[in-house]
Amino acid sequence: MFRGRSVSLVIPAYNEEVTIRGVVEDFRGNALLDEIVVVDNNCSDRTAEFAQAAGARVVRESRPGYGCALRAGMDSAKGDILVLTEADGSFHARDVEKLLIYLEDAQMVMGTRTTKQMVEQGANMRFPLRWGNVFMAKFLQLLWLRPHEPRFTDVGCSFRALTSDAWRRMREQTRESGPAFSPEMMCAALQAGCRVIEVPVTYSRRAGGDSKHSDTLGRQIRTAWAMFKTICRMRISPRPAKTRTEARTDPSPR
């Protein structure tokens, strides 16, 4: 619980039996979290079993992909606030409070892994990947310069927090199944009139396995191209019209 609001942690997982227990146990030690939801995205190993044994609630999503897993997890989560993270141990529970504090001034708070002093030795944030994220983030920032004037340095960081109300407002604008869901979510939040801010988080070496989207230069290029196309599509797509009820209750700044 954070200042009277319940908090759910959502972790998408695909064959993460090596790391999932440690990740769940780390975040379970954070008293601000009311529940931990692990999304079993067609795992063929013991990820679900280990997650449940560590104290998480397991949700199953048969549609493959990072975006599909996160949508299922956020739809299932019961908290007033949703925190998203990875199953590989690259993010830490101690940064949850930082995201939640900044959520007092926004509807979504993004972590960024591009602050060099916060990237630990051995983390998968080498020069091309780091500056590729910065470039793509600045491209997104430029497209939404008016009227939002956002400030972004990372489109691929999956450690973020948002209100459940913000998720309901942006959900229908999301459709990506893979890693392009990350910038798509940022664009959808801006389209919905949400205030989105970014804060540095600690980024560590994966506790096990390799990234499924950025472990090789070829995958990095494919992921970057998918993100670029998604950002362009979201910018030229019409902003969804608000219902009369949403217009009356819209908490976004004017």
pLDDT at 226: 93
Closest C-alpha among 165, 163, 186, 164 to residue 174: 186
pLDDT at 122: 66
Hey, what are 193's tokens? 């009139």
Q: Which CATH superfamily is domain 7-236 in?
A: Spore Coat Polysaccharide Biosynthesis Protein SpsA; Chain A (3.90.550.10)
**Rounded Cα–Cα distance for residues 131 and 137 (Å):** 10
pLDDT at 110: 97
Helices and strands (DSSP H and E) totals, the chain: 10, 7
**DSSP states of 94-163 as a string?**
GGHHHHHHHGGG-SEEEEES--GGGB-TT-S--HHHHHHHHHHHHHHHHHTHHHH----S-SS---EEEE
pLDDT at 192: 94
Percent of residues in the chain assigned helix, strand, coil, to nearest 5? 45, 15, 40
pLDDT at 209: 56
Angle (CA) 154-159-161 rounded to 5° is 105
Pairs from 241-245 (Cβ < 8 Å, separation ≥ 24): none
Neighbours of 149 (CB within 10 A): 8
Hey, what are 153's tokens? 């340095």
- Output b/e per residue, 97-118; b: 16+ Cβ within 10 A: ebbbebbeebbbbbbbbbbeeb
Ranges of the chain whose pLDDT falls below 50: 241-254
Residue with tokens 């997890």: 73
